[in-house]
Each structure stands twice: as C-alpha cells, then as structure tokens.
Structure 1
C-alpha cells in the first residue's frame, strides 16, 4: 500500500513538473495562487494580467511592494514567485486575456487553466475558450469573507455562463429624482449628477425633479398635463444641466443653490408627494455661510479621515473644492472634454461624497463617511487577504485532483471565511 501511494505521488510530482498551466489574473487571488503553484511543484506557468500595481493593492497582494507601484502586475508577480522557486519557468503577459491573440489555439497548449479574475466579461471569455479548446478550467472568486472554487470541464460540468448571476440592483428614476428614502438613492443621484455636469450626459440619468412622477398626481390625466406643461415651460427648462453649469462657469455656489435649494423648493410644490412622507428641507449657501460655521472641515466623529462624517457646512466646502478641482480638470483637457467618474480619483470621489451627503441631509437621513459612500458608489465589497489565501489553496487542491485523473471528485467549494479555513485545514 505504501509503495502504491509512493508511486502515485511520484507520478503526480512528475506531472506537476512537466504540465503547463495558465493563470489568468495576478491580483488578490492570483498572487497567492502563483506562490502556491511554484511551492507545490508546478514548473511551467504562464500568467497574464492587464493591470499595473497600485498603492491600494499592497495590503493584500503580497508579491508586490511599494517600489513596484506603476509596474505590470504579471511581470512583478513572476519575478517575485521566482524567488520562491528559481528553477520555475514562468512566462508573464502584460495584456488582456480578451485580446484576439489568446484564442482557442492558444489555450490548447495548457493542461489546466486557473482563473483569478475580478470581472464577468473576462470570465465569460476564458470560459468559452476553455470549452472550445476542451481544457479543464478552475474558476474562482471572493467577496469579502465569502468565496468559491469550481471546476468546469466540457461534457462533464455546467459552464460558467450556465450558472445564473445576480442582476445589478436598479432604482426607479422618480425615486432617485424626487423621493429618495435610503442613502444609496442619494449616492446614485450624485453619480448621475457627476455625469450630467462633467461627463457623458445620459437621458436615463437625469437628476432634476421628475415632473411626470405618477405619484405626484392622483390620475393619469393630471400627470400627462404636468409633463406637457413642463415641455412648454420655456427655454430655461430646456437647457441641459451641463449647458447651464457651463454658462455659470461651473460656479460652485450657483450650482449648490440650484441643486440643493431651487430644485428642492420646486419638489415641495409637488405637495402630493409629501402627504405621507417627510418633506425635504432646502439648503441655502448664504444662510449656512452666515450661521457661524467654522471655515473648514468639521468632523463630527473621530477616526481615520475617510471614516469621519462631516457636518453640513463641511460637506458644503467639500462640494465647493471638488467642483473647482473638476472644473480645472475639464479646462486642462480642452473644449468639449468630458470626465469619467472613477472612485479612485479624489476630486470625483469628493464630489459624490459631498453631493450625496447634502442630499441625505435634505431628506432627513443620517449622513455617511467617505469610506461608506465609496463602498456603495463603487459597488465595492472589501477584499480580505485571508479569503484570497484560502481560495488560492483550494484552487491548487482542485487542480491536483484534475492532474491525478480524479475529475469526478472535483466539486464546487464555497462558504463563509471561517468554514473555508476549516475545510482547507481538513483537506490538507
């Protein structure tokens, strides 16, 4: 029995040193996975990743250091992994896996493909290529303390796209524009506002009061009449939000009073909206400025800067500073330029934080810290280093089963972090 086990282990070890595997992604899971592979005995590894290293990656992607910021994730991951096993043959691609060069023929050179991706489009592509090339794929993902690993093989398991994915939550336009009741409604409104002012305008992302809100009228005829009246309301109403902002030179105080005073006062005239809910309270820049507030940000809670919740005047000033910064960005880009909202761009994030919190205050909601707003605005679930490590270990275990000819024993593994750690320890 011992000889048989020893023979099987030798065959597996020989297989590890000779087989060629592809790792797609060199981020949170990818770094842990690459390290695990070379320490397990895999010798021929290709790794591909489009991204470069950012400072925010360093707290969980341990193959990277501060000196690597701005460099290719795939290339640095290769160099760092070779320090664990200098004899390994690792090829790094700083490229997108969705590049046409990485077709089914490219995938056929591998015995195994391991996904460490963070977006659905790339996962779909790798899934299709592995099905076309008939190559086993180990798919994985994490979300906070949750994670999963599953093996996909043509003719044996369902594919990645066969599995239903949760639809992104959407909100009615009239709720966003007229009657927000949750902080997320105000955050979505603030992101829409950013695009209306500085980015690509979208008619489906209007931020002005919705005059055709069916709840504002008791019958369809009155709703239609209100909408028709709005259409005939003169040239001022017909000017887009961006055109009006440009006409003011993106004056932050005029923008403030239009968005948080005039528009709210107009909402109050739609009195049927407020018969069963608390009416909003408009804000006025001059009144706030003259009310004795300190000239500067005024945190109302202690802690890290991004976790502080400012008072109303603090968010007024943050709104002013962010508008001025974004206006400068537009001027630098030139006539007709547009900005793209990015959660990692400080002025853009400051703008959404300030605008969302001011709207929350108007509609009697508790305001949120920049950290909380960023989490919701970017649909961010914090990455947990230990979850990445556990999932990377499980990927390798499933890969070993495949290379041992035990595809039938592969299964989808996924649970809460503590349960995964217990499972991992049991398997080892």
Structure 2
C-alpha cells in the first residue's frame, strides 16, 4: 500500500495539468489540486472578479474586485502549497496561440467552464492532441463530471445539447404575454440602439403579412427603417424614442384588429400621464433591487439611460450588453417594465430582470465543492493509469432509490455519428440555398452552430470552389452573395476545415423551399432521415445505458436527464 501511495504521489508531482476556468468550480478545483500535491499547474481564464462572485468563489476577497480571476486564484492557491508552480493565463482559450501543440504539453486537462463555445473548443483541441479531458458542470443543486478519452468514451459533443430557449419573433415584436418576452424585447432594443444591430431582432412591429393582418391590409404608412436608423434621424432624443416605442408602435399594432380578437389589446403610453405609484404586487419592502419600480420611475430611468448610453456609444462605438453594468441593466429593466405595463403584464424587480435577462441559475457553493472533489478523484485514476476505472458521475437534486446522492455509471462509448470525434465526421444541413448567404453560412452555421473558430469552406465539386477562407479579406466579396450563386444546391457537399481546432467536416446540403419552423434559417438533420428534398429532422436518439437492475437503470436515467442541460 505504501509503495502504491508513493507511486501515485510521484505521478501527481510529475504531471503537468491544465485548469480551464477559475470561477465557481475552478476555484475549488485549483485549491484541491495544490492540496492533493499537484505541483505543476496551468490555468486560463479571461474573466475579472465581480462582487457577486464573492459568495462562492472563496479564493477571492473584496479587495480583489476588478482584478483577473486567474491571477488572484494563482496567488491565493499557492498560499496553500508554496511548492506548487502555477502558471496563469489571463486570456481567452479561444485565442489562436492555445492550439493543438499548446495542449499536447499537458498530462491532463480539466474544464471548469461556463459556456458551450469554449467547451466545444477545448473538447476538440484535446481530441486532436490526444489528451484526456475531464469535463464538469453545475447548475444549482445539480452537477456532473465525465472523463473524455479519444476513441474510448463519448466526447462533449457526441450527444446534442438542449438548445437555448428562444421565442418567435412575432411574439417578441407584437404580442408579448409573459415578462420574459418583454425582457428579450428590451435586450434586442439595447442592441438595436447601442450594440451590434441584427436585422432579425429589430423591435419594430411586424409590417409584412403578420398574424392577424389581412392580405389586402395597407401598411404603407409605416416607416420601414431599423430602430437605430430611426434613433439616428431623431438624434437619439429620449422623449421621441419613448413616444415611438410605447405609443406610436403600439397604436400601429392596434390597427391590426384581427390580432386582438382573442387577446387583450395593449395600451399606448403617454409620457406625461403615467402612474407614479407601483401597481404591481410585492412592490414594497425587501432590498432596493427587489423593489418593483413605478411606471413613472421606469420612464425616467429609461430616458436617463438613453442619454448616458448614447454618450458611451458615441465615445466607444458599439456596446455589449452586460448584466453587471448598471446603466445597461437599468435600461433593460425600465424598457421591459414599460412594455409589460402597456400589455398588462406583471412588472419585475431589478433583481428578477437581472436573473432572467442573464439566464442566471443560482450557484450553490457546496455543489461546486462536490464537483471539484470528484474531478480530482477522476484525475488521480487517469494519472495512475487506471482510466478504465473512470466513471461519469451525476449529482442529482435528491438521493436515488438506493439513497445515493452521487450516481456513477460507465462512460458511454463514442457516438459513431458524432461530427466531431468520429473517424469520418459528416453532417447534413437543410436550408433554402436561394436565401442563405455566405455570411450566414460562416457566422450562423459554421461558427455559431458547429462551433468553429476559423473555418475554411470549399465546394466538393471537382473545381475546388472556395466559399470561405480564414485568411483575412480573401473571401470578403463572397459574404453578401447567396450560396446558390456558387452552385450550391440540393445534394452539394462542402468540405470544411478549421486549422485552429485541427478539425475537418463534410457537410451535405439539403435544399428546401419550405420555410422552416420557428423562423429558423437552417437546421441540422439526421442524414438517415433525409429523402430528397423532404425528410423531417429527427434528433439523434440517446443510446440506452446499462445498469445492474431496472430500478437502478431508471435512477441513472433520471440523473442523466436532470443533468443533461448543465452548462455552468
């Protein structure tokens, strides 16, 4: 036993491990590693410390607010073990210098990330480098840890992750019925006025054959320009902007009578005639951020924020919405509540809007500590050459029928249809070739959907026609053109390569003239279910896991289901 402990100790001390992310799980993990005896650790994180981190990220103190997380985590963790050497990278793991060769130097990589894009990227780099990755996540009381080994267990992308909740554009623009609809509208409004505008997310009322509009109904009196153009023409005058958004636009919607046959119509707002007292329940008592503002307060805050944000926009260019920035958050709170009031929807406090707009799931310090401990236990197995003993472990909200709070099961084998880790990665995508542009192919399909960083796309037509090049400026002229202009049609195959991720992919195009559901521009489909120009998309079904008894199998399935969407 002493010999085994000494061997394991030597393995730990001689290893070089990487921690990606030094937030909730990352802080606990870094502390555990130095206390376990790891002496050569690298850590990377782009984030800085916010006061809201201090209730659970215990390597940080109030005096550290504003400093890089990874640098403070390094300083504090080394106090637990001065013999440990920790290399801190205050940077994004998506940057090109952190490539396959960079990851090859590590004995093991451990993810403590909070976003899907970075998880995908690290997953692909570890597969390319042949380095074992331990993936983890927590969401409230739920948590999970899994070990990813190339060719042995499924990778992070083998099973599709639940898509982020989205709402139909017509609901957001015309007929909100819930507070979240108004909050999403307010965030779109912020981007339209001060951020990077997206024509798909303009907040103006729908003006073309919208639900409830008769085919012959005349809407020619509506000025068809974007919200930002309107604001620029009116010099971002806050009173005129209020009048447009909360009076004129609503009056236009009221002119579509069929839209309100089964709905309560909204009420246009007059800036000088708003109630000063709050009409929402729970508007008094509690902390300041938990008080629901009166509608008059919302109107004043809205105008003040427009002035403040316009100055910042003029000085710095396009702004990015941040839930932790006061003026940005206050703008969304005020705009969302004004719209809610107009549509007779319950208004929300600043605290509630911040949680909903930021997709915040309350973090539990104990959950992070448990998950970090499991990561280290799995790491010890890997470094001791006992990877066959590794488990995928789930932390459910309640104990299973066997009174176990931790549910461990054998990792799944690789999914043969995974477009990331299979020997011949392929995927099938359906869209209208006559409307999808090369820019959409690059930004929405290759980068956003398939998670690539620097994609090169070539048509597999024997001619080697290049649609996209990662070389700066080389294919800029292609971006506004529809893919059909280059001969892309039903059955076309695209060869895609991302040198930063050492990833290749062959994509088969299925052309469709029929609009896709939920206003989607494209969708990935299961190739087995494609029949010519039709064929409904079918999600890849989860493979059944083995368990020793039926009841244990059900408990394991439930734990997997509860933890399936963990991303924090």
Tell me the TM-score range normalised by the shorter chain: 0.7 to 0.9
Deviations 1:107-157 (A, max 9, x none): 222221111111222212211221122221110111222211100001210
1:128 aligned residue: 124
Which of 152, 177, 197 is matched with 1:201 structurally?
Answer: 197
Separation in 2, partners of 1:194, 1:108: 42
2:300 is equivalent to residue 313 of structure 1: no
1:238 aligns with 2:224: yes
- 2:502 aligned residue: none
Distance across 2 between alignment mates of 1:150 and 1:425: 12
298-307 or 41-50, which deviates more: 298-307
TM-score (norm 2): 0.67
Runs of 4+ in 1 over 6 A off after TM superposition: none
The RMSD of aligned alpha carbons is: 2.4
| Residue among 307, 331, 345 paired with 1:324 | 307
Pick the aligned partner of 1:115 from 99, 111, 118: 111
1:299 offset after TM fit, Å?
A: 8.5
Q: 1:36 aligns with which of 32, 37, 56?
A: 32
Larger strand fraction of residues: 2
1:164-243 mapped onto 2 (5 Å cutoff): 164-217=160-213, 222-223=214-215, 225-226=216-217, 229-230=218-219, 232-233=220-221, 237-243=223-229
Aligned to 2:66: 70
| Cross-structure match for 1:408 | 388
CA shift, 1:39, in A, is 0.9
Q: 3-state SS of the aligned residue for 1:162?
A: coil
> 2:254 is matched with which residue?
268
How far off is 1:15 after superposition?
Answer: 1.4
> Judging changes above 3 Å, is the alpha-carbon distance between structure 1 residues 167 and 239 closer, same or farther for their aligned structure 2 residues?
closer
Q: Deviations over 1:233-266 (max 9, x none)?
A: 3xx7134322332333322222222211121122
Give the CA deviation at 1:83: 0.7
CA distance in 1 between counterparts of 2:230 and 2:91 reads: 42
What CA deviation, in whole Å up to 9, does each residue of 1:329-382 have, x standing for no partner?
23434xxx3322222221111111111111111111111111111122122222
For the residue of structure 1 that corresponds to 2:18, the secondary structure is strand
Farther off after superposition, 45-54 or 24-33: 45-54
- Runs (5+) with no aligned partner, structure 1: none
- 2:135 is aligned to 139
Find 2:83's aligned residue among 77, 87, 100. 87
Please say if residues 394 and 424 of structure 1, whose CA atoms lie closer than 8 Å, have aligned partners that are also in contact: no
> How many angstroms apart in 2 are the aligned matches of 1:304 and 1:128?
45
* Greater per-residue helix proportion: 1
Q: How does 1:220-369 map to 2 (within 5 A)?
A: 222-223=214-215, 225-226=216-217, 229-230=218-219, 232-233=220-221, 237-288=223-274, 293=276, 300-333=283-316, 337-369=317-349
Q: Does 1:24 align with 2:20?
A: yes
**Aligned equivalents of 1:182 and 1:425: distance in 2?**
37
Q: Distance in 1 between matches of 2:387 and 2:399?
A: 24
Change (3 A) 1:332 1:89: closer
Offset of 1:7 from its aligned partner?
2.7
User: Residue 260 of structure 1 aligns to a residue in which SS?
Assistant: helix
- 2:372 matched to 1:392? yes
What secondary structure does 2:355 align onto? helix
CA distance in 1 between partners of 2:29 and 2:230 (Å): 52
Equivalent position SS for 1:215: coil
Residue number in structure 2 paired with 1:382? 362
Judged with a 3 Å threshold, the aligned counterparts in structure 2 of structure 1 residues 178 and 16 are, in CA distance, closer, same or farther, namely: same
Q: After the TM superposition, which of the residue ranges 204-213 and 269-278 deviates more from structure 2?
A: 204-213
Give the distance between the partners of 2:146 and 2:326, measured in 1 at CA: 37
Return the alpha-carbon distance in structure 1 between the equivalents of residues 334 and 63 of structure 2.
Answer: 33
* CA-CA distance at 1:419 after TM superposition: 4.7
Q: Does 1:47 align with 2:33?
A: no
Q: Is the 8 A contact 2:27 2:59 kept in 1?
A: yes
Q: How many Å separate the matches in 1 of 2:56 and 2:289?
A: 19
Residues 214/93 of structure 1: CA separation in 2 closer, same or farther (3 Å cut): closer
Assess if the C-alpha contact under 8 Å between 2:393 and 2:407 holds in 1: no
Separation in 2 of the partners of 1:199 and 1:419? 46
How far off its partner does 1:301 sit? Answer: 2.1
Cα deviation per residue 1:143-189 (whole Å; 9 max; x = unaligned)? 22221110000121011111211112222111111111111111111
State the alpha-carbon separation in 2 of the partners of residues 280 and 17 from structure 1: 66
Assess if the C-alpha contact under 8 Å between 2:14 and 2:40 holds in 1: yes
What SS does the corresponding residue of 1:142 show, helix, strand or coil? strand
Once the two structures are TM-superposed, the CA of residue 399 in structure 1 deviates from its matched residue by 0.9
TM-score, normalized by length of structure 1?
A: 0.88
Could you tell me whether the CA contact under 8 Å between 2:38 and 2:84 is conserved in 1? Answer: yes
Q: Deviations over 1:385-419 (max 9, x none)?
A: 22111111110111122223321221211233565
Question: Which protein, 1 or 2, shows the higher relative CO under an 8 Å CA cutoff with sep ≥ 6?
Answer: 1
Aligned length: 404
Q: For 1:108 and 1:354, how far apart are their aligned partners in 2?
A: 49
Output one character per residue of 1:246-289: Cα deviation in whole Å (capped at 9) or x when no partner.
Answer: 3333222222222111211221111111111111122111222x
CA distance in 2, matches of 1:13, 1:425: 28
**Residues 1:41 and 1:186: Cα distance change in structure 2 (over 3 Å):** same
Q: Is the 8 A contact 1:390 1:424 kept in 2?
A: no
